[in-house]
Structure 1
Amino acid sequence: MAPAGSLPPGIDATVLAAALPHTVWVLAGAGEIEYANRGPGSPGEPWSFLVHPEDLAAVESAARVAGAGPYELECRLKRVDGSFGRHGVRFTPVDARPGWWIATGTDVEERAALRDELAGARRRVTETLSLLETLEAAAPAGFGFVDSDSRLIRVNETLAAMGSVARGEQLGRPVDEVLPGVWPQIAANYHRAWQTETAIVGTVVTAPSQGEAEGPRSWLAGCYPVRVEDRMMGVGLVLVDVTEREQAQAFRSVIMDDMAEGLYTVDGDGKLTSMNRAASEMLGWAEKDLLGLSVHDTVHAVPWNGTPQPESECPLRRIRTAGQSAQTVDETFVRRDGTTFGVACSVAPLETGGGLPGAVVTFRDMTEVRRAELEARHDQKLESLGRLSAGLAHEINTPIQFVGDNTRFLADAYQDMLDLLLVYRECMTPALGELQWSERTERAQRAEAKADVEYLATEIPAAVSQSLEGVERVASLVRAMKSFSYKDSTEQSYADLNEALRTTLTVARNEVKYVADVVLDLGELPDVLCHLGDLNQVFLNLLVNAADALKDKAERGEIRITSRVEGPTAVISFADNGTGIPADIQQSIFEPFFTTKEVGKGTGQGLALARAVLEKHGGSIEVRSVVGEGTEFTLRLPVAGRPETA
């Protein structure tokens, strides 16, 4: 046996060097190569010839700093094929030969690339986390993530504000401790979502508000299963504040929808500010058609003696201006179609905060008592009167539709981003062991493509803005209804209708994407003077109607939205290649409550609203349809708008 520290017989230093997975050079005092076990570099050749020219100065500097002692560095060295690769090199002096060195080099190019790729992945994870946190903070909804043990793992500011403990103490705690006012109402939905791996949505819950004076708030809650590949990670919570909607619906049901007597309010000038369903049905006028008009001039009939009565002598005005208490008077009203009917009115002054007081007027149709001979005619007209829109439903339901559509979009977006975040975390976890980086990267890239981060970053702010606008519109309407007064909508303003069309398409994305491809052919449009909120409602109704017309087609349909200018008029069209509309009902589709959809699938108010909005703008809407080929609605709007009615 060879003594310790010596090589066995038959194995010399050359054999040993050849077996090493590194390049070994023996360098003479002047830096010439005396020996190399592999790779480039011939005896007598300066070792510096192997160094990349850009790295040579750094290598020489490192040698000067090291002096006669061993040292290490990284530089690019020439490979056998002539290319340069990054190597880790260690220089060790030879004690027996002063001035001589043994250099060992290891190719670290792959390690350096992996390091750079890891740094890039960490940067992308950081950017994604920042985006997710920004979206969570900006959304007008509460977002949270609950794990399998019912512990709160993630929460945004809105949801945290509903908790019973400070936000810093919420994460990792059981949800029933953090949200004791909400969790008992949605715990069953959480368990169903976990067990069935399906979203459970549509539950309205109530919870105390931060300020006791505000009373409890209402929230629309949804539970969404969160999966990464085939593994259930937890359940996402989404809560949207719908307090104003619930209050508005309750108020509308009790006063504006269910009240048998007609009711309307006027301001100090006798102009209509609100009207309930019963009044609309009895008068034949939709609320939106009378807002801002003189009620006396519109609905007060000429007295029975045939002598016109000036407004100054109207009993309703005298009671209102004299500041008297509620009184009942007999009057005669005229319907929109010109027929008259007797009413018993109760008039009560309504203080509006300055100037002449307004009034709340309730009335009952006295036709059966005072005009018994017209009973049959009155009954015949009830059906047509019942088809007229009260207008109030659109004022409340359309903004809520915006909020609902955007909330579903935000929930889907939150789900996508959360799934992406969890994939990133899974790719970075040490638990994956020796899993190749390329496989980790491939998983992350698949998740990024699925989430479509760029699309979410563009569209979510618009959805948030639209949701806030819808909530504010509902809140404004509730405040107006509670005070029995209606503040006129804001003045017309110039707006980019092409942008409005794009925004509408974003809002209705879930309604359209499963049935049709949407082609936008938008020409150059000047800004149009309009009520943009009303036009957005029209665009949304037409887009959803087009999608509905394509749902029964065997193949995927197409919806084409175009815009152009014709002189002083902006022209917008919505065309689909759906089933078409029979010619005999094409004019009826604009009548209130007329619908060809199944019961419960449509109210028949969308196209009636569209025509009213276009007429209010001084424009028009036309339909061209061929059964089996499709339908096109063409909207024409004056670019300069219609002057506001004084």
Structure 2
Amino acid sequence: MRRILVVDDQRSILDLVAKAMERLGYECATAECAEKARKVLEGQSFDLIMSDVIMPGESGLDFLRYVMETFPDTATLLISVMDDSQVVQEALELGVYGYIVKPFNIRAIQIDVESALRRRDLEVANRRYREDLEDRVAARTRELRKQQEEYARLVKTLPCVIYTGNPDWTVRFASDRIQEICGYPPDRFVAGRMRWRELILEEDLPIIKTAVKEALQGDGSFIREYRIRDAQGHVRWIQDRGQIVKNADGSIDHVSGVIFDITGQKMAEEALERARREWEHTFDAVPDLIAVMDTERRIRNVNRAFRERVGESNGNLLDEPCYKILHGLERACNDCCLREDDERGSACEKEVYIDKLGAYFHSIGAPVFDDLNNLTGHVIVLRDITEQKKAEEALQQAHQELGQLFSAISSILIGLDAERRILRWNKAAEEIFALSSEEVTGRALDELGIDWQWDRVEQALDRCQAKKKAQRVDDLRYTRADGQPGFLGLNIQGVDLGGERGTGFLIMGAEITRRKIMESQLAQAQKLESIGQLAAGIAHEINTPTQFIGDNIRFLQDAFNDLEELIGKYRNLMEKARELEVLREAAASVMEEEESLDVEYLLEEIPQAISQSLDGVQRVARIVLAMKEFSHPGQEEKVLLDINHALENTLTVARNEWKYVADVVTDFDPSLPPVPCIPAELNQVFLNIIVNAAHAIKDALGDGAEDKGTITITTRHRDDVCEVRISDTGTGIPKEIRHRIFDPFFTTKEVGKGTGQGLAISHSVIVEKHGGKLTFETEEGRGTTFIIQLPVE
């Protein structure tokens, strides 16, 4: 229902108009002045407002002006008691929909009201149409701009050149990729400085002309392949795909298309052709008998060895069944392994005796499938094994041994379905993960509670599923059944389960913890060997100058002793010279010079300096000797070693590690006999433990501490065992990690400051290579003692 607001200061007019409008089907409200009308408008909306011109307070024109500015979708009518031209003019300028002059009749008011409302509806509809049209134009403009940007990106990213050319080989447009193909920028063609025709090899122009002629006879599309010479003089193969666009009179307007660089494809085709010829030559060069057959076992192709052995030409062999040619039978052999229903693509091997050829053959038959996995035929390869039959027993024995060898290989084998539930779980997996096949079959892999790097395994499974390629997961960390850390190497392969079962997975792997340990130890050994070789070289280089420096200092010591004796005699001579008048002045001069040189000081200090220099040289010599002995090239065989001397050398070499944080106390058993061992590896054990002791003391003291800790080293001979104890006053080993300190790759040091291999290698050297024991005693906050026991015999 339309709503109308009538504003007039005469109540009779208001009631008359309101009742008339209600009878005509309108809903009406009234107001006796503009002020009251404004209040009504604050809470209600109206389709039409009828207002008197002259009212107390605000005039009708001003009120309607307010309405048209505030409520632009509301129609307005002006009511006046007289036909005032000035009022009419202002009303027209204001845009009032109608002008009613009192007195009036209801019919006239109805006409004006309906006209005003109809005009108002048209204006609102028109305005909304314009707004909608403007919105659609703006949206279409944005869409066109977006399409233009997408087209520009497409042109930029497509692996080809997009072009528009003229019949005279000039270019209207070419994408930037043209420079990658020919070496010339696109603006060189667009500007007309070069035509595409100039790059085409002359001998290929007839190909292009023929393609254009065929296109004009058809729908205008063409595909042509030809060669060009690029800016560097290289010949490239081009595939040009385009459409000829004609004018209304049938003449050519332009050509649009794309250009691909197919040089690599052409090279691949040539390589493929060469490979085909090589395959044919190889096929004939194989000494085994090879036959290619269709699904009915009719021969389609054979190699030269087959023809020569059978004694027939191709013409007599082709389209004949293999069982007729080889066995003289009219139907397939009962034990033939070639099956039409074979969908697995597996080869069949067996030994057969062919009467017609009088020999034993090792027969290999394999089905051939097309890209859709449809069986298209079979291939058989016959190898003459008549001579080998004489050694059949030896061969069977070898096969048996080989089977036992494969059975002994401990590799993980896990089969999963498409939902990654366990289908297969072999014995190696049972042993490594401590889960039986009965426990895991049918369960999801991620429900088994295996403590390994799940994110790497899941990512590999996802990649295998997405890329349809096998995925490797190397050096996968996991926790072994005994709670120790370990490593696995996995290979994940997608498996077609057939039918609706989809694609599953086959996880094959091995426990490579020991290999990782060996690799780490090898790397450590190689590094130490390199350091040892460098140290030995440095020691050798230092040794020579140290020797002649020591010899020279000893020479100076002997010479100074001689000069000191001579100086004493000179002094006696001057004492006597001073008694003679002739020599007194000269003697006094010599005495003054002696006093100025402070000869007494020199006679006192020079021997001390020489003695200190000799002591320093001897210390350098001891360090050099220790370095040479410590870095002596490793031996694989044991030799007798003085353990006390080896420990002294190790302390000398490691002095820089402990001298700032600890004092070393040694208590060596002088009666300790030589111990059979591998010197280089035992030296490394001593070095690892001493350096660890220094680090533990440093951690206990903290940064900036002035006090020092103590490293105590003792050796004893106890019941045919050499015992070495290395104690420190460090932090001690926390109870919760004591069971892991000899584990490979376990370390409590910061990243980059420890590999976790030092004590693991030491344990391996002492226990496995020397048959000894490596244990420890520790107390948190007090320190640790490592105990090495080596058999003397």
TM-score normalised by L of structure 2: 0.30
Q: State the structure with more CA Rg.
A: 2
- Larger relative contact order, structure 1 or 2 (CA cutoff 8 Å, min sep 6): 1
TM-score normalised by L of structure 1: 0.36
